[in-house]
């Protein structure tokens, strides 16, 4: 069924000519009732093609996430040169080992309302993986190559009066990605019906050339199709109250240019993400033809030599993370509740910025960042003309790069969260004169489309870019890792600041600890896990503390984007040749969204509103009695005392003797004995201020459930994430439990997915059974449209079951 979202605006303006006005624009989300099949089907574009046997799906949809995982999928025998590899080896799981490769078709009958002769119809696709070819009634009406970009097609002239058949063909080549790209119509598809006299698609540009505490100048440029039209623009505050209204006086060709003052504006920032809305109404005489609402923020950004980055006049450093686009067990299919949960977890950590590595972000993610307060680095490409993977973006670079950037900027430019663009990540074009020209060409396209934001490139070939001029020409020189070259780059480059566009790439598995605890890179173990003592990294990367030193000691470093906020599907370094590893170990939180220990290390410095006191490892080491079992504490306090079974193991205080000693409290020589390990944080006078402890648990006895949200919306899309853990008979968390659990959801919702964060697990995300990993997993429940109570029942052998009730309301 089509969902109609007609915009009936009650205009809060004084002139009675506008009262009772009904806007002419209708947006229809094409989310339900699609027919889908994998395969080539040469005649599937034809209107009378029989798709009855095809699966009925709703969009956003990722056809590959159901699996099964298979080692042979996209097996790549290659040397990953950007990782410094010289010899080719067999890489399994590089793209997640899920069946994304091949062709797929989506078909849908468009039941349009009866159109008036003066109406236009646009079809907008927010991203389709990949190479979408769009057919209407058998005719190819539009196409795009890059799976991550937004594009729209004017289908007005190809529509019949009824019975319109839409068919979309997608094709994913093998060896086309370095991570799990997903497959299908994984973002939203919209139909926009509007008067021919109306605002052009993406035709409004709102900027705030002056954004001071006392007043702001809001500049609104509006491209309108149609002669002799009148444009009235209102500004509404966050409560919906009109604070300004202006009728456009200056038109330049088809573009109206308005400057509207706001006195004492609420400035947008991550801490106070205040949003205004502009309402653009287009009139032909007194007839209202179109209304478009645009949310914007009043904020000022600046990047200055030896001062760095400032927001609203205040210098600050990005406390950012890089994110790939998948949502763990949901795959790449966009879901607002899943995105909001990710951002909520990051916000609690104190994170204030996101980099959409290495492609265009979803519109939903940007909307949430505007609302929740995250600055955004919106990236475009992982490849330019030179290849990283055989069938990567280099195939399209020459023909498509410009139009891809144009659409990125046009579709997203009004989001206050975006504070920087990136034209590329570690592109092999960093070498050679052609690459320098490409960097300049791309940056100029961004400047032409948006003169208000700077452009960066994430550079890993820092020495080459220092010599060639590549780094010098960028607005913002971004360094990926290479902390040892920050000083040289700062000296060589003219900008007067450096961004840590990608940092850390420390690897760890939630709840897994390896002994002895020594710093090292590319470490591998028999179980294909990495240690959560956070001392392991890659040959090209480093530990979080090494970045902290740069951030704290160099005023010209403008912040960092940690690789990555969450584990993602694919790229299982350091186990990319070790099946069954199929997802990353880089995340600060795991694939299920559960925080690893590292989460608290970042929180201890980033979250300034809540004290952090976190102790690791867990204290269930049967068999290690008497053996050295170091204890780390990640804390916002400077010092703390550790006690094992009541006996003091001494006070540690942060000092500058090493990066680790500066940011962690470490007791390296603790001898394991079961019992209670307690840490007491001390204030600057040595007085105890906060405690945390871990206890040795007995056998798992009982299942415990906690939901991130106990009330959700009955819209068939909203999600509740239930964390499942087990406790012993005394209620102590069992940190090593691996019990196989079964899930049953009844009532007004359905079981959607499950994930335990184990990068080596081949259990399906979509079957209602899974093993605990390090004592935990997360079940995702989705609401239906009826509403009511939803029960999740979790059972396991010899365990007391867990039951939780979620309320879903309209």
Which one, of 564, 561, 498, lies nearest residue 309 by Cα? 498
Binding flag, residue 728, ligand GAL (CB under 6 A): no
**Alpha-carbon Rg for the chain in angstroms:** 27
Binding flag, residue 426, ligand GAL (CB under 6 A): yes
Q: Kindly state the smallest distance separating residue 564's Cβ from ligand GAL, in Å.
A: 8
Q: Kindly state the smallest distance separating residue 324's Cβ from ligand GAL, in Å.
A: 8
Q: Kindly state the smallest distance separating residue 587's Cβ from ligand GAL, in Å.
A: 11
- How far apart CA 128 and CA 183 sit, in angstroms, is 8
Exactly one of 131, 502, 536, 560 is catalytic; which is it? 502
Q: Which residue is nearest to ligand GAL (CB)?
A: 505
Task: State whether residue 420 is helix, strand or coil.
Answer: strand
- Interaction pattern, residues 529-568, with ligand GAL; x per rule: CB under 6 A: ---------x--x---------------------x-----
- Asked whether the beta carbons of 275 and 371 are under 8 A apart, the reply is yes
Q: Kindly state the smallest distance separating residue 585's Cβ from ligand GAL, in Å.
A: 10
Binding flag, residue 502, ligand GAL (CB under 6 A): yes
Binding flag, residue 505, ligand GAL (CB under 6 A): yes
Structure tokens at 493: 């480059």
> C-alpha angle with apex 707: 705 to 712, nearest 5 degrees?
140
- Interaction pattern, residues 428-457, with ligand GAL; x per rule: CB under 6 A: ------------------------------
Q: Kindly state the smallest distance separating residue 573's Cβ from ligand GAL, in Å.
A: 6
Residue bearing tokens 């979509």: 766
- Asked whether the beta carbons of 187 and 149 are under 8 A apart, the reply is no
- Asked whether the beta carbons of 304 and 496 are under 8 A apart, the reply is yes
- How far apart CA 692 and CA 92 sit, in angstroms, is 41
Closest CB to ligand GAL among 178 and 413? 178
Closest CB to ligand GAL among 436 and 538? 538
Angle, helices 336-349 vs 363-372, to 10°: value is 40
Touching ligand GAL, residues 253-282 (CB under 6 A) = none
Residues that bind ligand GAL (rule: CB under 6 A) add up to a total of 13
Closest CB to ligand GAL among 460 and 728? 460
Q: Kindly state the smallest distance separating residue 504's Cβ from ligand GAL, in Å.
A: 9
Closest CB to ligand GAL among 308 and 574? 574
Closest CB to ligand GAL among 560 and 571? 571
Edge-to-edge strand ranges of the sheet holding 702-707? 702-707, 719-727, 776-783, 749-755
Structure tokens at 505: 């790439």
Touching ligand GAL, residues 63-122 (CB under 6 A) = 82
- How far apart CA 249 and CA 256 sit, in angstroms, is 8
Closest CB to ligand GAL among 547 and 571? 571
Residues contacting residue 4 through CB under 8 Å, at least 6 positions apart: 26, 28, 113
Q: Kindly state the smallest distance separating residue 44's Cβ from ligand GAL, in Å.
A: 35
Q: Which of 26, 480, 509, 696 binds ligand GAL (CB under 6 A)?
A: 480
Binding flag, residue 323, ligand GAL (CB under 6 A): no
* Strands, E assignment, 664-797: 665-667, 676-682, 688-695, 702-707, 711-713, 719-727, 740-747, 749-755, 769-771, 776-783, 788-796
- How far apart CA 168 and CA 131 sit, in angstroms, is 10
Q: Kindly state the smallest distance separating residue 184's Cβ from ligand GAL, in Å.
A: 23
The answer for 717, left when phi > 0, alpha when psi is -120 to 50, beta otherwise, is alpha
Exactly one of 131, 364, 383, 426 is catalytic; which is it? 426
- How far apart CA 257 and CA 277 sit, in angstroms, is 17
Q: Kindly state the smallest distance separating residue 357's Cβ from ligand GAL, in Å.
A: 6
CA 228 → CA 25, 45, 231, 254, 602, distances in Å? 19, 41, 10, 10, 57
Which one, of 476, 474, 477, 482, lies nearest residue 505 by Cα? 482
Q: Cα dihedral sign for 684, 687, 692, 698?
A: positive
Q: Which of 158, 246, 326, 460 binds ligand GAL (CB under 6 A)?
A: 460
CA 492 → CA 9, 259, 489, 495, 498, distances in Å? 55, 41, 5, 9, 11
Binding flag, residue 498, ligand GAL (CB under 6 A): no
Closest CB to ligand GAL among 201 and 542? 542
426 annotated active-site: yes
Closest CB to ligand GAL among 539 and 769? 539
Closest CB to ligand GAL among 426 and 560? 426
Binding flag, residue 359, ligand GAL (CB under 6 A): no
- Asked whether the beta carbons of 115 and 194 are under 8 A apart, the reply is no
SS3 content of the chain, % helix, strand, coil (to 5): 15, 40, 45
- Asked whether the beta carbons of 688 and 613 are under 8 A apart, the reply is no
List residues bridging with 653 in a β-sheet: 639
Cis, peptide link before residue 516, omega less than 30° from 0: yes
Residues contacting residue 426 through CB under 8 Å, at least 6 positions apart: 82, 382, 458, 459, 460, 461, 480
- How far apart CA 422 and CA 476 sit, in angstroms, is 9
Closest CB to ligand GAL among 18 and 486? 486
First to last CA, the chain: 19
Q: Kindly state the smallest distance separating residue 505's Cβ from ligand GAL, in Å.
A: 3
Structure tokens at 262: 């706001």
Closest CB to ligand GAL among 480 and 732? 480
Closest CB to ligand GAL among 584 and 620? 584
Q: Cα dihedral sign for 366, 368, 369, 370?
A: positive
- How far apart CA 806 and CA 763 sit, in angstroms, is 26
Closest CB to ligand GAL among 281 and 564? 564
CA 105 → CA 45, 102, 138, 160, distances in Å? 9, 10, 13, 22
Q: Which residues are catalytic?
A: 426, 502
Give the interface with ligand GAL as residue ranges (CB under 6 A): 82, 357, 425-426, 460, 480, 502, 505, 538, 541, 563, 571, 573
């Amino acid at each position: 069924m089509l969902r109609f979202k007609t915009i009936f605006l009650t205009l809060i303006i004084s002139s009675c000519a506008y009262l009772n006005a009904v806007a002419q624009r209708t947006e229809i989300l094409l989310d339900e009732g699609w027919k889908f099949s994998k395969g080539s089907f040469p005649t599937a574009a034809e209107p009378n093609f029989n798709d009855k046997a095809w699966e009925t799906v709703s969009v956003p949809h990722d056809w590959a996430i159901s699996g099964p995982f298979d080692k042979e999928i996209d097996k790549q025998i290659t040397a990953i040169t950007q990782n410094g590899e010289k010899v080719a080896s067999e890489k399994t799981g590089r793209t997640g080992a899920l069946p994304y490769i091949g062709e797929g078709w989506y078909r849908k009958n468009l039941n349009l309302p009866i159109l008036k002769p003066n109406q236009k119809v646009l079809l907008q696709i927010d991203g389709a993986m990949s190479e979408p070819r769009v057919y209407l009634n058998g005719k190819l009406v539009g196409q795009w190559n890059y799976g991550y970009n937004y594009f729209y097609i004017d289908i007005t002239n190809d529509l019949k009066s009824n019975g319109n058949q839409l068919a979309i063909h997608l094709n994913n080549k093998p060896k086309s990605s370095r991570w799990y790209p997903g497959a299908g119509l994984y973002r939203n598809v919209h139909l926009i019906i509007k008067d021919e006299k109306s605002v052009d698609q993406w035709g409004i540009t709102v900027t705030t050339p002056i954004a001071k505490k006392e007043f702001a100048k809001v500049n609104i440029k509006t491209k309108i199709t149609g002669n002799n039209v009148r444009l009235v623009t209102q500004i509404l505050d966050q409560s919906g109250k009109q604070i300004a209204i202006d009728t456009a006086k200056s038109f330049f060709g088809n573009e109206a240019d308005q400057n509207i003052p706001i006195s004492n504006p609420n400035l947008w920032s991550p801490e106070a993400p205040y949003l205004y809305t502009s309402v653009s109404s287009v009139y032909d005489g007194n007839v209202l033809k179109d209304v478009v609402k645009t949310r914007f923020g009043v904020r000022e950004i600046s990047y200055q030599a030896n001062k760095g980055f400032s927001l609203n006049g205040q210098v600050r450093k990005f406390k950012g993370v890089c994110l790939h686009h998948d949502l763990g067990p949901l795959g790449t299919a966009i879901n607002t509740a899943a995105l909001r949960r990710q951002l909520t977890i990051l916000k609690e950590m104190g994170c204030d910025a996101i980099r959409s590595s290495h492609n265009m972000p979803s519109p939903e993610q940007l909307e949430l960042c505007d609302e929740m307060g995250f600055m955004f680095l919106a990236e475009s490409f992982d490849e330019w003309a030179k290849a990283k993977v055989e069938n990567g973006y280099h195939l399209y670079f020459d023909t498509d790069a410009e139009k891809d950037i144009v659409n990125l900027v046009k579709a997203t430019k009004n989001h206050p969260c975006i504070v920087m663009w990136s034209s590329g990540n570690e592109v092999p074009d960093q070498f050679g004169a052609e690459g320098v020209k490409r960097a300049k060409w791309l940056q100029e396209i961004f400047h032409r489309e948006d003169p208000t934001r700077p452009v960066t490139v994430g550079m890993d070939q820092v020495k080459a870019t220092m010599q060639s001029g590549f780094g010098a020409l960028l607005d913002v020189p971004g360094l990926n890792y290479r902390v040892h070259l920050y000083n040289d780059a700062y000296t060589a480059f003219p900008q007067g600041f450096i961004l840590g566009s990608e940092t850390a790439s420390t690897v760890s598995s939630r709840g897994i600890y390896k002994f002895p605890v020594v710093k090292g890179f590319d470490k591998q173990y028999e179980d294909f896990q990495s240690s959560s003592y956070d001392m392991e990294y890659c040959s090209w990367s480093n530990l979080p503390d090494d970045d902290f030193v740069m951030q704290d000691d160099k005023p010209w470093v403008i912040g960092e984007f940690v690789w990555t906020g969450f584990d993602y599907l694919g790229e299982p370094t350091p186990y990319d040749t070790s099946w069954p590893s199929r997802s990353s170990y880089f995340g600060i939180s795991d694939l299920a969204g559960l925080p690893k220990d590292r989460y608290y290390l970042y929180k201890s410095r980033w979250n300034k509103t809540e004290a952090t006191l976190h102790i690791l490892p867990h204290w269930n080491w049967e068999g290690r009695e008497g053996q050295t079992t170091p204890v780390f504490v990640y804390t916002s306090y400077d010092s703390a005392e550790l006690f094992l079974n009541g006996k003091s193991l001494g006070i540690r205080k942060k000092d500058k003797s090493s990066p680790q000693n500066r940011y962690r409290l470490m007791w390296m020589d603790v001898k394991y004995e079961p019992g209670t390990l307690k840490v007491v944080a001390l204030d600057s006078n040595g007085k105890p201020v906060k405690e945390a402890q871990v206890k040795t648990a007995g056998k798992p006895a009982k299942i415990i459930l906690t939901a991130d949200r106990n009330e959700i919306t009955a819209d068939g899309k909203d999600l509740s994430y239930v964390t499942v853990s087990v406790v012993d008979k005394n209620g102590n968390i069992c940190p090593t439990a691996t019990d196989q659990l079964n899930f049953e959801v009844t009532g007004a919702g359905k079981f959607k997915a499950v994930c335990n964060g184990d990068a080596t697990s081949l259990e399906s995300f979509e079957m209602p059974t899974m093993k605990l990993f390090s004592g935990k997993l997360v079940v995702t429940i989705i609401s239906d449209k009826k509403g009511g109570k939803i029960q999740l029942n979790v059972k396991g052998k010899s365990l007391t079951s867990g039951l939780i009730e979620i309320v879903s309301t309209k």
